[in-house]
Structures are given as C-alpha cells and as structure tokens.
Amino acid sequence: MLKNVEKTVNDITEWIRDFFEKNGPSCSAVLGISGGKDSSVTAALLARALGKERVVGVMMPDGVQPDIDDSKTLVDFLGIRHFTVNIGGATSTLKDALSEAGSQITKDVQINIPPRVRMTTLYAVAQGLETGGRVINTCNKSEDYIGYSTKYGDAAGDMSILAGLTVEEVIQIGEYLGLPDSLVHKKPSDGLSGMSDEDKIGFSYKTLDRYIATGICEDEEIKNKIDRMHRLNLHKIQLMPHFEPSDSEA
C-alpha cells in the first residue's frame, strides 16, 4: 500500500509531463476507456498532468457492451474528448477470415482478438489527431506480474502509468482523486470471457498484491500458480529478444 498517496500522485503528474515534453510536447494522450478502475485512474492522472483538453478517451464496444454506461460516466465526469468505435464488425470479419483460411479459432483466440483490434484502433485514433497522439497503456503491476494481459493488445502502448502500482494502490489513487466509487471499486473483468478477473485467475488481487510486496503466500498451491504465471508470461513485458552477430564489423 502507498504510504503517501499525495506524493505519489504528484510524482506521477510530473513524470507524465516530463514524458510528453520529451516525446510529444503538443500531442494528446489517447487511451481506451473500459469503465474500470485502471482506465479511470489513468485518464484522471493524464487530465491532471496535461489538462483535460489533451486527453482523448476511446470507447470500443465489441458489438454490445453491457457496461458501456460506466465508460460514459468517466468521460463525462472528467470532461474529456472521446470517441466511440464499435469494433464488432472488425473482430467478426477477422474471425471469419481466419476460419475460412483453415486457422483454428480456439477460445483463447476469440478472447484475444478484440484487445488487439482495440490497440490497432487506439493507434489509428492517435495518428488521426491534428496534433498527433501517444497511446497510453493502462495495465497495472499486479496484472503485469502474472501476465494477465494480451500481448500486442492491452499490454502495448507508448507509456505505462500504472505499471509500478498494484491493484490496491491504484484503488488508493482513485479514491484520492475523487473518482466515482462505482468505477474505482468496480469488480474487475476482462469484459470478454464473461468471468471476473479473480474467478478466471483463481485467486484474489489482495492475495497477489501481498505476495508481490512481501513474498508471502500461505497457500502453497496458489503461490506455485502465481510463480508459474509470472515465469511463463515474462515475455509480455520484456523487450523483444534479438540475435546479435558476434563477428559483425565495428
């Protein structure tokens, strides 16, 4: 847990400003708005650092999104510019094309296509802005630790504001910033599998956050599961490996 939330928020604010000063002084920040705590806190921090006029939220329902009103609540609360891009047609067309080509459409394939289409959409929106845009990753430290994200989907972006903060710390910041309680304490879900995050991974974020912070987890089965997920999914947050020739000329 954060000992001084105010200091952390101020430090993040300055870090965001410094990033944009070096990587796009006139650019806007573009992020997907799901209506959950991560995108809500990220958007609020960006608005605090850059001003709401430089924050662009993108809502991307895959056909019908039952909780789309939560996303609308956030953009209205912050007063940020926003777009709604329904990706349903794109995901459906891609799945049909894969199927016609003979590629197997497994459950995981179906779950991971929408996040990758969403990231494509975010970069398209960013490039289409008159001032240009930088795409903001909204994953937190807890999700990154166990690889609970889609590679080149929601795991992508130009900067990651929450990557050093656990779920509980993100909630602390959301409360400090005065965001609606319904968003900050919304039960986390990927919005794709029909399950909550905790049901899907098999343990609570509170258990995970404690293990990340202290290395303590009394349940050996859960500890082993966390360790295994962390080990197998490190590739999602590491730089792409490349071969370096040993006999190349200097």
Task: Tell me the per-residue pLDDT of 78-130, one tens digit each, with 9 for 90 and over.
Answer: 999 999 999 999 999 999 999 999 999 999 999 999 999 999 999 999 999 99
CA proximity to 160, closest of 181, 189, 139:
139
Distance CA 224, CA 217 (A): 9
The per-residue pLDDT for range 144-190, each reduced to its tens digit, is: 999 999 999 999 999 999 999 999 999 999 999 999 999 999 987 76
* pTM score of the predicted model: 0.94
CATH of 5-236, one of 3.10.110.10, 3.40.50.720, 3.40.50.620, 3.40.50.11810: 3.40.50.620
Helices (H) and strands (E) in the chain, counts: 11, 5
CB atoms near residue 177 (< 10 Å):
17
Q: Quick one: pLDDT band at residue 65, thresholds 50, 70, 90?
A: confident
**57 phi/psi in degrees, rounded to 5:** -95, 140
Nearest to 110 by CA among 89, 127, 94, 122: 94
Burial of 211 from C-beta contacts in 10 A (0-12 / 13-18 / 19+)? buried
| In the chain, domain spans | 5-236
- Checking if the pLDDT of 67 tops 90, the result is no
Rounded distance, CA 118 to CA 135, Å?
11
List, for residues 194-250, the tens digit of each pLDDT value. 678 898 899 999 999 999 999 999 999 999 999 999 999 999 999 999 998 987 665
